Amino acid sequence: MVSHAHQGTTSSALTRLSVNAARLLGIPPHGYAHLLGLAPEHLNDDLCRTPAATGIRIAELTTVHTPWSELSVLLAQQSSIGTLGVWDYLITSAPTPLEGIRDASAYFATVADTGTDTLQVTEDGEHITISHVNQADLTYEAACAIRAYALGLYQRRLGEAAQRRIVPVHVALAAEAPRRHDALTELYGTRSIDFEAPDSSITFLAGDLKTPNPHAQPGLSTVLRRHAEQTLATAIPLHNWLDLFRAALASADDETTPTLSAVARRMAVSTRTLQRRLDEHGTTWSDEVETVRRARITRLLHTTDLSIDAIAARSGYADARALRRAVQRWYGTTPATLRRTGHHHPDSAATGLSDLG
């Protein structure tokens, strides 16, 4: 379910949250606006996944200007339902809060970098503990803010699922005690907070999380899990310049047959510079366009009843015969067979664009 390509990235929604917090706290944008993934066409596109390093840098800049405990509270306050997309609704739409947080753990990759962060749910008799482990390479204060925020976010979503505030029986933070606890006491609704714990966790009474959600709808969780899987399958991880180019190419392909000049304009470079950068990354314009076409054609064959002629027209081929030759070259079979079997050659995932669209 989780591709290795997703690791090292987080959802653009999570990055937008960090950017908004930095803005509210008056952090000068010149310190982070240049970071990879923060261009509006990427930051505001829910298909794009921004580098985890970008979010880390914003958190580090922010905690230079404000205590980590206050940042964690601000992030939680700004995380209204829907801010983090389908992940939010996995929790709030489940039959019980416990089932919802288990789904959130299973699909944690839709928001976080699962290469460094994990969400774990442990049931022990009358208590249920939700742990957040963060092993990213970041400053101490930024790590504290992220861990404290994560626990506050889980508590908020569980309360939204139950339609009432759920107060934990205990909170443990992998952080030294700040000078003032007021912000954290307000965040969690309890003074039962231990510091310098091995891992950050929040513990609830099992009864609070096993009570049926008042507005749960039968079957909705299944739909949301499928949507979460689709979100991961269509995500565009941005790790480097080549990823940015491929995101621009995919966006241009959604509108019309992409051209070199159009994509160069999107990336604010000359066509010559664009071709040189592609050469530096060991690829060419024609190879990248063909990969986009392959992804589009495969998707249309598997998910629509469009005729071969219609798919050829949508994909920039002169006619169905040209499309058939291309499919034969890629997969060693015909479009009709590919559509009927739903299978394709394993090498089709070899390039970064094979799963786009």
Selection from 56, 67, 57, 59 nearest residue 21 by Cα? 59
CATH architecture label of 4-230: Alpha-Beta Complex (3.90)
Tally of helices (H runs) and strands (E runs) in the chain = 17, 8
The dihedral of CA 310, 315, 317, 321: what is its sign?
Answer: negative
Name the nearest CA neighbour of 72 among 18, 164, 145, 151.
145
Closest residue by Cα to residue 259 from 267, 247, 249, 269 = 249
Q: Which class would CATH give 240-349? A: mainly alpha
Q: Name 191's Cβ contacts closer than 8 Å, sequence gap at least 6.
A: 181, 185
Asked if 186 and 156 touch (Cβ cutoff 8 Å), the reply is no
H or E stretch covering 117: strand 117-124
- Tell me the mean pLDDT in the region 81-87: 97
Residue 344 predicted with pLDDT over 80: no
Average confidence score pLDDT of the chain: 90
**Do the domains 240-349 and 4-230 match in fold?**
no
DSSP classification of residue 109: G
DSSP string, 65-90: HS-HHHHHHHHHHH--TTTTTHHHHH
pLDDT at 254: 62
Give how far Cα 233 sits from Cα of 2, 12, 77, 153, 351, Å.
Answer: 8, 15, 30, 25, 14
Asked if 305 and 293 touch (Cβ cutoff 8 Å), the reply is no
Distance of alpha carbon 21 from alpha carbon 43, whole angstroms:
15
Q: What is the pLDDT of residues 281-324, one digit of tens each?
A: 899 999 999 888 898 899 899 888 899 999 988 888 888 999 99
Mean pLDDT of 95-120: 96
Across the range 45-72, mean pLDDT stands at 94
Residues in CB range of 202: below 8 A, 6 or more apart? 129, 130, 151, 154, 155, 168, 170, 171, 172, 188
DSSP for 231-287 reads HHHH-EE--SHHHHHHHHHHHHHHHSS--HHHHHHHTTS-HHHHHHHHHHTT--HHH
- Checking if the pLDDT of 354 tops 60, the result is no
For residue 72, give the amino acid letter: S
What pTM does this model have? Answer: 0.77
Q: Pairing mode, if any, of strands 170-172 and 193-194?
A: parallel
Domain chopping of the chain, boundaries: 4-230, 240-349
**pLDDT per residue over 5-49, tens digit each?**
789 999 999 999 999 999 999 999 998 998 989 988 889 999 899
Does residue 348 carry a pLDDT above 90?
A: no
Question: What percent of the chain clears pLDDT 90, i.e. is strictly above it?
Answer: 69
Q: Residue 113: count other Cβ atoms within 10 Å of its Cβ.
A: 24
pLDDT value, residue 41: 85
- Cα separation, 168 vs 148, in Å, equals 14
Phi then psi for residue 338, to 5 deg, are -60, -40
pLDDT of residue 101: 98
Q: Are strands 117-124 and 127-134 parallel, antiparallel or unpaired?
A: antiparallel
pLDDT tens, position by position, 247-289: 888 877 665 578 899 888 888 789 999 999 999 889 999 999 9
Whole-angstrom Cα distance, residue 172 to residue 198? 9
Which of 99, 52, 33 minimizes the C-alpha distance to 239? 52
H, E, C per residue of 119-149: EEEEEECCEEEEEEEECCCCCHHHHHHHHHH
Higher per-residue pLDDT: 267 or 57? 57
The CA-atom distances, in angstroms, between 267 and each of 87, 164, 255 are: 31, 47, 16
Query: What percent of the chain stands above pLDDT 70?
Result: 94
Which tokens hold the place of 356?
């786009």
